[in-house]
């Protein structure tokens, strides 16, 4: 970690520790917007960490942004922080202005464009849009009349919205577009800008899950050292120690895979790395949440305890932007499409 990343980590950890509390998360799950938290993220320039300095951003790299998104996952920050970072980056890469406020990702294949040039309008539907009710704009990749992919920025003001949420009670709203004007658009070239929004969403969730797994580990270790049974902390029992070591291994593996995928963005082709990261994060979530709840016992299932803030998010995030089994199938397809001698370099590439 270089000096800039150290400063970035200290900043985001301090900011999230000051603003994200048990009460804030509960209020968010009841439908309130964490305005104070969002204002602090924007005022510190963290939502534009990947935007070029010319575009009014920090001009950092993906390895830097990964630290921020992972920290947001660790604290359970109830805002579209990762989505806004990615959306702002995509707009900036395409030479489009980055609007203020929260920006979400409109990922799906049920959208269509009508018109041309500056008179494009959007039609269709997108379900499960993260925090759409609190986002001012959305970013979508949609084919135009000629079949050319366009990166579009759309104002969500007045768009038909049906509220919905995941099991973590995070906003995952359904949106219907009918002749909605496109604020700005540009050609989207996956070869130079990236892949589908599903790929970027999977990277966000992989990083967030890495952070949430770290939170699970810290909570479980702390509880095992505090809870006594037969006159000593349960963390002194070998069976508990073995389970905690498994939890630690899963958290570390998922975190490394997510970090590697983020670093790979800077090198170009990341389809393989993102798929691996999401598969690994999903597998780790399945194992780690089970262990964490076993260590905590009955108290971990109560709403009063904070363990569920991490476990419910892990259960929700593993299904978003493609479940692990879907990305595993994509990895299998990649392997089958290449020659046998390409398998080993694919697995061991740095």
The CA distances from residue 162 to 113, 138, 181, in Å, are 22, 16, 20
pLDDT per 10-residue tile (average), the chain, 350 residues: 93 97 96 97 97 94 96 98 97 95 94 89 96 97 90 96 97 97 89 76 98 97 93 93 97 97 83 93 97 93 92 97 94 85 76
The domain made up of 3-192 is a member of CATH 3.30.70.60? no
**Tokens coding 54:** 């010319």
Res 315: pLDDT: 97
Query: Which CATH fold would you assign to the domain 195-348?
Result: Butyryl-CoA Dehydrogenase, subunit A; domain 3 (1.20.140)
The CA distances from residue 313 to 50, 106, 241, 317, in Å, are 25, 20, 25, 6
Domain boundaries, the chain: 3-192, 195-348
Res 341: pLDDT: 81
Question: Can you say whether residue 27 is alpha, beta or left, with left for phi > 0 and alpha for psi between -120 and 50 degrees?
Answer: alpha
Res 319: pLDDT: 95
Res 190: pLDDT: 66
Strands 103-105 and 137-143: parallel
Q: For the full predicted model, state whether its pTM sits above 0.85.
A: yes
**Topology match between the domains 3-192 and 195-348:** no
Res 45: pLDDT: 96
């Amino acid at each position: 970690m270089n000096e800039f990343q150290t400063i970035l980590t200290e900043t985001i950890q301090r900011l999230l520790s000051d603003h994200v509390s048990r009460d804030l998360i509960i209020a968010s799950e009841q439908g309130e917007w964490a305005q104070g938290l969002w204002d602090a993220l924007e005022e510190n320039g963290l939502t534009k960490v990947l935007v070029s300095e010319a575009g009014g951003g920090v001009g950092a790299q993906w390895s830097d942004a990964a630290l921020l998104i992972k920290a947001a996952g660790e604290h359970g920050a109830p805002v579209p922080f990762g989505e806004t970072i990615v959306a702002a980056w995509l707009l900036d890469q395409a030479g489009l202005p980055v609007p203020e406020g929260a920006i979400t990702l409109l990922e799906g294949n049920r959208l269509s464009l009508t018109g041309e040039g500056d008179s494009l309008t959007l039609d269709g539907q997108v379900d499960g849009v993260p925090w759409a009710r609190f986002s001012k704009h959305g970013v979508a990749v949609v084919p135009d009349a000629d079949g050319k992919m366009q990166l579009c920025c759309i104002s969500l003001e007045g768009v038909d919205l049906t509220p919905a949420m995941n099991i973590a009670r995070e906003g995952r709203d359904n949106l219907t577009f009918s002749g909605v004007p496109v604020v700005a658009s540009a050609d989207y070239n996956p070869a130079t800008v990236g892949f589908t929004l599903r790929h970027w969403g999977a990277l966000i969730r992989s990083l967030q899950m890495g952070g949430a797994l770290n939170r699970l580990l810290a909570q479980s270790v702390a509880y095992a050292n505090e809870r006594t049974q037969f006159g000593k902390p349960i963390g002194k029992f070998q069976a508990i120690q073995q389970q905690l070591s498994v939890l630690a291994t899963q958290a570390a593996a998922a975190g490394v895979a997510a970090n590697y995928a983020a670093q790979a963005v800077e090198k170009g082709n990341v389809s393989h790395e993102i798929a691996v990261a999401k598969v690994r994060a999903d597998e780790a979530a399945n194992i780690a949440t089970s262990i964490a709840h076993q260590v905590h016992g009955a108290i971990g299932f109560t709403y009063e305890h904070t363990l569920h803030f991490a476990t419910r998010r892990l259960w929700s995030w593993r299904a978003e932007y493609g479940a692990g089994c879907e990305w595993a199938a994509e990895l299998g397809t990649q392997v089958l499409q290449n020659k046998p001698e390409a398998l080993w370099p694919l697995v061991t590439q740095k």
